[in-house]
Structure 1
Amino acid sequence: MSKMIVPENYKAYLNLIETEVAIKMIKDTFERRLAEQLRLTRVSAPLFLLKNTGLNDNLSGNEKPVSFKSFELNHDDEIEIIHSLAKWKRDALHRYGFERHTGLYTDMNAIRKDEELDNIHSMYVDQWDWEMVISSEDRHLDYFKAIVSKIYNALLDVEFLMIRHYPQLGESILPDEIYFITSQELEDRYPDLTSKEREKAITKEQKAVCILQIGDRLNSGKKHDGRAPDYDDWALNGDILVYNTQLDDALEISSMGIRVDSKALKEQLEKADENDRLTLPYHQNVINNVLPLSIGGGIGQSRLCMFFLRKAHIGEVQASLWDEETMRLCAEHKIHLL
C-alpha cells in the first residue's frame, strides 16, 4: 500500500519543461556556491566498491546493498553498489593529498533497494558528497556549526535566485540564520513526541534547523536516529532540516559530521557491538592515523529541488520507479512524475 501523502488542492508551480530547466539551475548554482564556501574541488566518484575494503557506507546497518560479482575480478569478493561515499571520500582526501581546510565534492548516485517509498524517499539516491581536511584543533562543536552556517549561506543564495526567476513560487521560507539544537535538548523540549514528531515540531517553528549530536542514546534510553558507528563522531555531527510547506513536515536535506578519530571509532564500535570491523583496511587506516581528520556530509540533490520548487513528491524532480498505487494517485492529482 502506498505511503504517499497527497496535499490538498496541490498544483505544481512549474510545468515539466520549466521544472527540468529549474532543476539544472538549482544544481549548477548550489554546487558552485558550495565549492566556493568550503574550498572544494570536484572529483570523480565510483558507483560500486569491493565489499572487503570496508569503504561502503552501511547507513544504519539494516540496509543491504545491491551486489554482484565480476568474472574479471576476485571471485571471492562481492562488488557493492554504494549506499553513500562517507568513507570513500576520507580515503580519497588521503590519496589526493588535500591540505587542511580544502577538500573535495562529487556527484553521488546510489541504489537503496530497501528504501520504503513515499513522497521523499526513492530507490534512486542523488546527492552531493563532500569531504574536507581538518586538524585536531577543529574537532569541536563550534567549528562544526561554522561549517553548517556556510552551507546554509549557499542555500539562501539558491532560494533567492529561484524566487527571482520564478516569482510564482511565492515568498522565501528560509530564515536569515539556521537554528541549532542538540538531539537531547530536542527530547527535553518535546518529551512526549517521537523523534520524527520532534523534528516536525521544531522545523515548523524555526523553518531551518540543524539537529546536533545524533547516534548515541538519549536520556530516555532511545536514539534520536540511527548512525553508523564508523564515520561520524556522534558528539560532533548533525542533520540539516527545512520546513516543507507542501507536506507540512520536516525535510532532511543533509546529514553531516566531523569524522571519527581513532578514539571515537573504537568507542562507537564497542557501543554498536561491531568490533569485528576493526580489522578492515579503512578502519585500520583510521586507527593508525593514515587518513586525515576530516569533516563531511551528503546533501540531497532531489530533496533540494523539491524544496526550492515547492514540489510534493520526489518523483517530480528525479526519474525513478514507483509502485502502481503511487503512480495512480499522482495521475489523479496532477502530480507529474519525471
Structure 2
Amino acid sequence: MALIIPKHYNPRLSVRETQDAIKYIRDTFQKEFGKEMNLSRISAPLFVEKSSGLNDNLNGVERPVSFDVAWKPGETVEVVQSLAKWKRLALKRYKFEVGEGLYTNMNAIRRDEELDNLHSVYVDQWDWERVISEEERNEKTLRETVQNIFRIIKHMEHEVWYKYPQAVKKLPEDIFFIDSEELLQKYPNLSSKERENAICKEHGCVFIQRIGDKLSNGEPHDGRAPDYDDWDLNGDILFWFEPLNCALEISSMGIRVNEESLGRQLALSHKEERATLPYHKMLLEGKLPLTIGGGIGQSRLCMLLLDRVHIGEVQASIWPEEMREECEKHNIILL
C-alpha cells in the first residue's frame, strides 16, 4: 500500500488537542478493557534472549533488532516483535487461574516494515492473554471473546463522542464473522487483501477466522507464526476505513496452540527445530496453561476513533522526509 492522500482532509483537532485525545483514548480503553475482560495490568519486557524461543517470529522473514549484553557473552538479545509467547509463560509464573488474564503495553520495532498510512517502524499495542479450560478451546469461546472486544471498542466510540464530538468516527453496529476459506470462495479472483477490503466494505466490521493454514488455493490467507495461535481457532478484527478506502486491522487474536496443534503446525511450516527451545518444550510437555489472547493496536485504535488518515498523526516515529513534506502539504501532521 503506497501513501494515500485523501482530498480536502481536515483532522478537526489541532496537534495539541490530538495529543490530549490520544491520552484519553488510551487511558480509558485499557481501563474498560481490563475490567470487561477480567484482565490485570502487568509489566512486560522490551527485549528477550533469543535462545529462550519467546520472541515472535511473525512471518519468519522480519529481522528483529538485536544486541548483546556484557554480562552474558555469546547470547543474543532481541527487541520483542510481539509478546504472544511471553504472556502465556507469565500467566504460569504469576499463577493466574482459569477465567483470569493479563494485559500489558507492548512496544516493538519492525525494522523491515514498508512505511505507508498504516505501517510504522514503531509498533504499540495492548497485548492480552487469559487462561481458559479445555472445554473452552472451541469456536464458541473465540466468537464470544471477539464480540466482547467489539462491544468495548463500540463503547469507546460513545466515550470519545462526549469529549470530542467534532472528531469522532461513527462505527458499525455489529461485527460480521466469516471463515477465510468461505471468503476465498466468495471472491476467488481477488488477492487476500482485496478480499479483506471487499468484505469489510460490505459489512463495516469483520472477523476473518482461520489464518495461517493453507486454503484450497494452496496459500494461507495471511502469514501467522506456527507456535502461538491455533490456526483453526484464530482470526483478525478489521474495520472498513472510508478515508483510505481500505480495511483497517485493529486486532489479531486467537485460542493458543496446545501440544497437538503446536506439533502439527511446526511440521506444516517445517519449523520442527523450534520444539527443542525452552518455551516450546514446556508447552509440548503440558506445563503451560491453555489460553486465548491477542493484540490490539493502540495507534490504530486512535486512528479509527479519531478518523485520522496516517498512523504518524497519532504516534511519534520516524518517517522519510519526503513523506513528512507531502503529508504536511495536505494538512496531515506527523508527530
Task: Please classify the TM superposition score into its range, dividing by the shorter chain length.
Answer: over 0.9
Corresponding position: 1:178 with 2:162: no
Among residues 289, 292, 300, which one is paired with 1:292 in the alignment? 289
- Cα deviation, residue 206, structure 1: 0.8
User: Which residue is 2:227 aligned to?
Assistant: 230
Q: Secondary structure at the match of 1:246?
A: helix
User: Which residue is 2:240 aligned to?
Assistant: 243
What pairs with 1:102-113 in structure 2 (closer than 5 Å)? 102-113=100-111
Corresponding position: 1:89 with 2:87: yes
Among residues 103, 111, 114, which one is paired with 2:112 in the alignment? 114
Corresponding position: 1:263 with 2:276: no
Q: Secondary structure at the match of 1:126?
A: strand
In 2: Cα distance, 1:27 partner to 1:46 partner = 20
In 1: Cα distance, 2:131 partner to 2:49 partner = 25
The answer to whether the 8 A contact 2:157-2:169 is kept is: no
TM-score, scaled relative to structure 2: 0.98
Q: Secondary structure at the match of 1:318?
A: coil
In 2: Cα distance, 1:170 partner to 1:284 partner = 47
Among residues 152, 155, 159, which one is paired with 1:154 in the alignment? 152
Uncovered stretches (5+) of structure 2, i.e. residues with no partner: none
In 1: Cα distance, 2:4 partner to 2:128 partner = 31
The answer to whether the 8 A contact 1:52-1:280 is kept is: yes
Q: Secondary structure at the match of 1:150?
A: helix
Q: Which string of whole-angstrom CA distances, capped at 9 and with x for unpartnered residues, describes residues 170-214 of structure 1?
A: 662222x21110101110111111000010111111111100000
Q: Secondary structure at the match of 1:240?
A: strand
The answer to whether the 8 A contact 1:163-1:172 is kept is: no
Q: Secondary structure at the match of 1:169?
A: coil
Among residues 77, 100, 104, which one is paired with 1:79 in the alignment? 77
The answer to whether the 8 A contact 2:200-2:247 is kept is: yes
Uncovered stretches (5+) of structure 1, i.e. residues with no partner: none
User: Which residue is 1:206 aligned to?
Assistant: 203
User: Which residue is 1:13 aligned to?
Assistant: 12
Q: Secondary structure at the match of 1:325?
A: helix
Q: More deviation in 2-11 or 138-147?
A: 2-11
In 2: Cα distance, 1:63 partner to 1:102 partner = 32
* RMSD (Å), alpha carbons: 1.0
The answer to whether the 8 A contact 2:169-2:306 is kept is: no
- Cα deviation, residue 164, structure 1: 2.4
Where has structure 1 moved over 3 Å in runs of 4 or more? none
What pairs with 1:137-148 in structure 2 (closer than 5 Å)? 137-148=135-146
The answer to whether the 8 A contact 1:110-1:124 is kept is: yes
User: Which residue is 1:65 aligned to?
Assistant: 64
The answer to whether the 8 A contact 2:169-2:304 is kept is: no
Corresponding position: 1:45 with 2:48: no
- Cα deviation, residue 10, structure 1: 1.0
The answer to whether the 8 A contact 1:114-1:123 is kept is: yes
TM-score, scaled relative to structure 1: 0.97
Identical columns (%):
53
- Cα deviation, residue 135, structure 1: 1.1
In 1: Cα distance, 2:16 partner to 2:45 partner = 30
Tell me the amino acid that sits aligned with residue 34 of structure 1: F
